[in-house]
Amino acid sequence: MCCGPTNKKKHTTKSEPVGNVSPLDQLKIRLARGEISFEEYEKVKGELVK
């Protein structure tokens, strides 16, 4: 019974995105997945680089 909550915690951390991904890398991932257009990528990238 003590192991149940521990297993659940481990499972939820696996499904979460990796915490060390930079905002720019997250933007590239969204572009690769087709979640955003290239124009939107360029716009947000410009704001991140400032």
Q: What is the pLDDT along the chain (50 residues), one digit of tens a residue?
A: 555 555 555 444 444 455 788 999 999 999 999 999 999 999 999 998 87
Q: Is 21 left (phi over 0), alpha (psi -120 to 50) or beta?
A: beta
- Within 8 A by CB and 6+ apart from 36, the residues are 27, 30, 44
Domain boundaries, the chain: 20-50
- CA dist 37 and 45 (Å) reads 12
**Is pTM beyond 0.75 here?**
no
> What does the alpha-carbon distance between residue 27 and residue 41 come to, in Å, rounded to a whole number?
7
∠ CA 18-19-20 to the nearest 5 degrees? 95
